[in-house]
């Protein structure tokens, strides 16, 4: 976790605890699912350790919602029998990376990559080096469900260039797999 991010998370945990301890009803409203790269578990643990009761109301993860809004099913009976959701917030060659990119390249399932737009070149290269066909379909969904939502499509070999040319920035989700060639909207 980056230094600035850690401080922000600790500040949020402190606010939750402080306001709940003062007798206020506290709602931590987050987009998506709290437990999919959302620090919901960390916040829950901090409150539990402080004796604050917690109730979680799950949301729909952006890993499924964003592709769906773009007309891309993460599974499809004839194209993909499963999907894997991974974080791309660190490059594949970064020592902090725990993702086995070569295994994902061979998995035969749809890959949904969150927080990977900054490392898309390296991620694509790692997948191809791991055995994924350079012709495999890929799409990047940016600003899902907002008026400025965009979808950039290509292959794993050219998706990083296409995304850069389109000015793609976070928040973006990358979908890799045959389903990325579908547009069911």
pLDDT tens sequence across 58-82: 889 999 999 999 999 999 999 999 9
User: What pTM, to 2 d.p., does this model score?
Assistant: 0.86
Strands laid side by side in the 172-176 sheet: 83-87, 110-114, 172-176, 137-142, 150-155
Q: What is the DSSP string of 36-79?
A: SSSSHHHHHHHHHHTT----------HHHHHHHHTT--S-BTTT
In terms of pLDDT, which residue wins out, 148 or 185? 148
Report all structural domains of the chain as residue ranges with CATH numbers, in order of start.
Answer: 3-49 (no CATH), 62-181 (3.30.950.10)
Residues 6+ apart with CB under 8 A from 8: none
Whose CA is closest to 139, among 126, 129, 149? 149
């Amino acid at each position: 976790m980056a230094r600035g991010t850690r401080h922000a998370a600790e500040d949020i945990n402190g606010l939750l605890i402080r306001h709940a301890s003062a007798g206020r009803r506290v709602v931590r409203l987050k987009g998506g699912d709290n437990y999919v790269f959302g620090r919901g578990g960390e916040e829950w643990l901090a409150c539990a350790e402080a004796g604050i009761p917690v109730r979680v109301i799950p949301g729909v993860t952006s890993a499924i919602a964003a592709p769906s809004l773009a007309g891309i099913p993460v599974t499809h009976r004839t194209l993909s029998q499963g999907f894997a959701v991974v974080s791309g917030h660190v490059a594949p060659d970064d020592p902090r990376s725990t993702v086995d990119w070569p295994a994902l390249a061979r998995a035969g399932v749809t890959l949904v990559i969150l927080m990977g737009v900054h490392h898309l070149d390296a991620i694509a290269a790692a997948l191809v080096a791991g055995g994924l066909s350079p012709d495999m379909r890929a799409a990047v969904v940016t600003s899902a469900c907002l008026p400025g939502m965009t979808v950039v499509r290509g292959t794993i070999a050219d998706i990083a260039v296409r995304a850069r040319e389109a000015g793609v920035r976070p928040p973006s989700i990358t979908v890799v797999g045959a389903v990325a060639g579908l547009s069911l909207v």
